[in-house]
Amino acid sequence: MMQTALTLTQMINRAEKYFPKKQVVSRTASGIKRFTYKEIAERTRRLADGLETLGVERGDKVGTLAWNHHRHLEAYFAIPCSGAVLHTINIRLSPQHIAYIVNHAEDKVLLIDSDILPLIEKIHSEFTTVQAYIIMTDEEELPETTLEPVYHYEKLLASADDSYEYPDDLDENAPAGMCYTSATTGNPKGVVYSHRGIVLHSMALGLVDGAGVSEKDIALPVVPMFHVNAWGLPFAAVWFGTTLVMPGPYFTPKLIAELIEQEKVTITAGVPTIWLGLLKELDEKTYDMSSLRAVLCGGAAAPRGIIHAFEKKHNIPFMHAYGLTETSPLVVISNLKSYQEQLSDDEKINIKAMQGILVPGLEMKVIGKDGEIKWDGAEMGELALRGPWIASEYYKDERTAEAFKDGWFYTGDVVTVDEEGFMKIVDRTKDLIKSGGEWISSVDLENALMTHEAVFEAAVVAVPHEQWQERPVACVVLKDDYTGKTSAEELLQFLEPQFAKWWLPDEIIFMKEIPKTSVGKFLKRTLRDHVQKDILQRN
């Protein structure tokens, strides 16, 4: 067979050639705008030409600090298709971490949303490699800034040449993108994505047994474009000619509900906190959600209660998936097998509450105390992966040796696998609660608590214990109507029939809010410190 290169250039070219009329709906600071793929492709070429004028060469890193909108989408293709590397930067990281990763990646040019400018003003003096800044704004003129040299995105495009041609000799193994994981300890770790990896991952997203993304879809990636490339959706969508709806800056659950209703969104993707917010909005106001064929949920375990509410109360199909920055991210997805469709509603939701089965193209093994675990849904072990869209190292980072061994990536996630091959994430290795030599899954306790009608959110952490080494403590946020009316005893009684006695939390602490990471996951380390201090003070 021929060895043709799998590069991103074919994706944007295909959108232009076959789907010039299809649209990208983009919400920016000044409202909703619509672009055809013909326009997007032309603007993308202009951006590539503009970057070249600024001195960007093959292999150079170009960083983006931006929300989900059409300009960011243009950068997604202009940068890699011209041979440079698209470095999406998480705007919610601390300023120190942002400065660290800009320097560590050696970004040459930064594309910045105008509202993020104040953050960059504070730290740009620490940047060691940046040679130019491009501001993405709807305004005619640039905002006041001390950055130098600074360019206006639209003016750069206007003065660029749209007859620019992408190089046709890109190596499919060349870096196309990079992203840093929001490490809970130490500095963020960089992952580099190759053209080939992104193309094959996009194929997996398009499989009916994957997320089934297709031309017929209207896709709303709520997951940020700085969080594992919005899970690869923008790449797949452009390649397939899918209509894209980009939610822009500072969106709310109300805005998401309105976009779904107005644009007739068929598939949307985000972390559980987003969907909790949307469910609350749907409780308060009626929206027409009938266009949705899938709510894709990953990044943290989807509590059973959320799945039940989407599927049974709102009649919206829920698709649970799992992955990491290191895995592009799609690894497993919870699609029922044909013969499981006959099961009861409850059983089907139980299956969907697991993360799912491995997507075609990847390999996995699960290593427990005595080697590979049995697929019995009970034995636990650490998940290791390999495949064409799994990273093989961290970028210039000695922590590579801890996670990448013998050609496998060790995820740091403890899982079980049932007889059908469905994987369930039990916990992160570091969040498992080790009590009296046994393991307690914080995730299981959280999910059980979150099915209680009074509970809005729950996070369970370990506290040190003299006799048992560690014990679980639950932190609970009650729904507004239940605050002050639901007791810890009531919640413990609710858990009792569901778990062995020694699994039950030693304490339930009520909180107003659970601290979250920059991508909306429970910040377990901060919570653990907080709870431990609280308990120490009381004793």
Which ranges in 398-457 belong to alpha helices (H)? 400-403, 442-449
Q: Is 434 a catalytic residue?
A: yes
Residue of the chain from 28, 114, 325, 441 that contacts ligand ADP (CB under 6 A): 325
Q: Both tokens of residue 258?
A: 């309105």
Residue of the chain from 23, 145, 181, 469 that contacts ligand ADP (CB under 6 A): 181
Residues 390-419 that bind ligand ADP (CB under 6 A): 411-413
Does 190 interact with ligand ADP (rule: CB under 6 A)? Answer: no
Q: Both tokens of residue 43?
A: 């603007």
DSSP H or E segment with residue 412: strand 408-417
| Residue 33 contacts residue 224 (beta carbons within 8 Å) | no
Q: Which stretch binds ligand ADP (CB under 6 A): 318-326, 359-367, 400-408, 505-513?
A: 318-326
Q: Tell me the one-letter amino acid at 196.
A: R
Q: Is 239 a catalytic residue?
A: no
DSSP H or E segment with residue 305: helix 304-308
Does 521 interact with ligand ADP (rule: CB under 6 A)? Answer: yes
Q: Which stretch binds ligand ADP (CB under 6 A): 46-54, 245-253, 293-301, 358-366?
A: 293-301
Whole-angstrom distance, CA of residue 201 vs CA of residue 219: 17
Does 210 interact with ligand ADP (rule: CB under 6 A)? Answer: no
- Least distance to ligand ADP, CB of residue 489, Å: 29
Does 428 interact with ligand ADP (rule: CB under 6 A)? Answer: yes
Whole-angstrom distance, CA of residue 78 vs CA of residue 164: 11
Q: Which of 36, 129, 145, 181 is labelled catalytic?
A: 181
Q: Is 242 a catalytic residue?
A: no
Within 8 A by CB and 6+ apart from 424, the residues are: 354, 355, 377, 415, 416, 417, 418
Q: Both tokens of residue 57?
A: 């060469």
Q: Which is nearer to ligand ADP, 249 or 412 (CB)?
A: 412
Encoded one letter per residue, x for contact with ligand ADP by CB under 6 A and - for no contact, window 347-376 reads --------x---------------------
Does 324 interact with ligand ADP (rule: CB under 6 A)? Answer: yes
Q: Is 326 a catalytic residue?
A: yes
Does 182 interact with ligand ADP (rule: CB under 6 A)? Answer: yes
Q: Both tokens of residue 415?
A: 């899982």
Least Cα distance to 337 among 320, 322, 351, 318 occurs for 351
Q: Which is nearer to ligand ADP, 251 or 522 (CB)?
A: 522
**Three-class SS of residue 482?**
helix
| Residue 21 contacts residue 36 (beta carbons within 8 Å) | yes
In the complex, the residues that contact ligand ADP under the rule CB under 6 A are: 181-182, 228, 298-301, 320-322, 324-325, 355, 411-413, 425, 428, 519, 521
Give the active site residues. Answer: 181, 326, 434, 439
